[in-house]
Structure formats: C-alpha cells, structure tokens
A = this chain, B = another copy of it.
Amino acid sequence: MKINEVVIEDTFAEVFSMYTARILITAATRRWALESALETKGLGRSATLPPSEASIERAASGTETPDKRPGYILQVGDRKRKELDHWLVTRIRKGVFPIPTTAVFDALPPEMAEDFVEIEHTPVQLFGDGYEEIVDVFGRKMYKIPRMDGFLYVEKRFGVTKGIAGGNFLIMGDSQGSALLAAEMALEAIMDVPYVTGRIAASGTKVGGNLYKDAVATTNDPYCACISNKVRDSKIPDGVHCVYEIIINGLTLECAKKAMKAGMEKAISVRGVKKITAGNYGGKLGKECIYLYDLVR
C-alpha cells in the first residue's frame, strides 16, 4: 500500500501485556514537578535491562489533581509483577523523595486496578521511621511522611493493570533530518492520545544475537542503513538512510492502536519518509497483533 508516496508494509506490530502502574507526581510549582518526573522516569526507555520501563504520559493541571497543584502523570511497567513492585517503589523513593515539595498519587483509573503495589513495609514507608502516618486527605488514603521541607504525601497503594507494551512502527527516511522530523511529529501526535506513552528509539533491537548467542537483545541489523551492504537480509530499501522506531505503551489495546494510527498518519505526511513498517516476532509470542493496514485504511 502507498499513501502520499510512502510505502506501508503489510505487516503488524506484536504487542505484549505488561503490568502497569500510573502515578501522578505533583509539586508546589510545575518546574519542581517536572524535575521529579524526569528523575523518576530515568533509565526507563527500554525493557532490555532493569530498571523497569517508565515514561511521562502527560502534564496534569492543578485543576485536576487531588492536591490542586501542577503535576505530571507517569506510567511505570514491567512484564514481571515482582519487578514492578521493586521498581515502582525505587522510582518513588529516588525520584520523588529528594525533590522539593513533591507528592505522589495513584493515577490509575480505579476501575482498571486488578491489583495493587502496597507501600507498607517498603523503603518508602520505612523512610518515616515511625513518624509516618496514614491519613485521609485529598479524598485518598495517604502516607504522611516527615521530610526536611515539610510533610511528603504518598498514596498508600498504587493500582496495577495489565497494560499494553510494544506497540511500534518504524519510520524509514531518506535522511536523518527527514526521519527525525517525522519521528518527532509522530511522537507529539501520539502523546495527544489519552493513556498512552510514546518514545523514539534509535537503537531498535532483535531478540537474542546471531553472533553473540547469549545476548538478550542486539542491534536490529536488517534495519541499520549504515551496514546494509554487510547484512545478508538487509531490509533497507534503496534511498533510505535512516530509521527510527516509535514505541508505544498504553493502558489498553484500544488506546495503543489509536496512538499508532495517529503517529503513522503524521509520519507519512513528512517529505523524505519512504516507508513505514513494524516489528514483530511472527505473532507467536505477543498478546495481540496490530496490523498497519487496519490503522491507515
């Protein structure tokens, strides 16, 4: 299929189910909320190695947050339930606690919570050394924990849902400039879709390695334009010199699809984009397949 002179490959993204928490970090001013959000989502762009995945979903205005302060909503996810427990607590402890004036709330829509990460007995609770209390405030059950700059409020537990990870498509461009502009525009369109997170990946991977058999994940060589002359089964068409992967997670399959569609439509509007494809594992490993043709026609 060709749209706007861009080839859309007849393939699919294979998505996986991932235990996902959705948290809201607020602060006295937006700037401190942002500093905390950036610190909290760090090292969260890929699932290859711990720490867990984490991304900023969107800004939240003071008119919609429990404590009427500006904030950011993040999604934190892991395919292993125990790892999510560990990393959600670690992210809060290391990303929220040190930053002035912060607080952190559960932001998963309540009806979606299948389970909870409990704060009790974690380093987050223990930080209080007995001075912490559970209080009813902001319409929630919150830990009220003394910190040098005042009380820090942390929700007592955080809902967990089986969200979607690994929504993706690849943008193949005739230059780094065109592929990068398309990727940025796609990402901004994706982030306008509720309940999803998106990111650009330059370092797309294949599972395992051909030469390094023990590696968990290695470079996606068929899609590396810079070695297309060395790779036997290179997938780089003539005239393509740069590829970016757009990765999408979301609370539901529905919103992940909507975001893939929004992102692809932007990408194919950009001059210099030659082809759109997607990554999958033959459809055998994932929870679901999202066909590109279904999104754009």
Contact = CB atoms under 8 A, between A and B. Distances in A.
Interface stretch (A7-15, A93-101, A107-115, A283-291): A93-101
A183 B100 contact: yes
10 contacts: A42-B43, A46-B94, A49-B94, A50-B90, A100-B183, A100-B202, A147-B203, A149-B179, A174-B174, A176-B181
Contact of A219 (B61, B128, B192, B243): B128
Given A126-B215, A146-B226, A148-B223, A46 B98 contact: yes
Interface in A183-233: 183-185, 188-189, 192, 199-206, 209-212, 214-221, 223-227, 230-231
Instruction: Indicate how many identical chains form the complex.
Output: 4
A66 interface: no
Contacts of A201: 98, 148
A127 to B, nearest CB: 5
A117 B19 CA distance: 34
Interface in A114-158: 123, 126-131, 145-152
Contacts of A192: 61-63
Contact of A127 (B39, B203, B223, B230): B203
A224 B175 contact: no
A81 B237 CA distance: 46
A31 B28 contact: no
A7 B221 CA distance: 33
A218 B129 contact: yes
Top-8 shortest CB links A-B: A42-B42, A130-B211, A177-B178, A177-B181, A129-B218, A175-B272, A177-B177, A97-B203
A6 to B, nearest CB: 13
Contact of A148 (B146, B202, B209): B202
Contacts of A209: 126, 129-130
Given A150-B225, A178-B175, A98 B202 contact: yes
Contacts of A223: 148
Contacts of A255: none
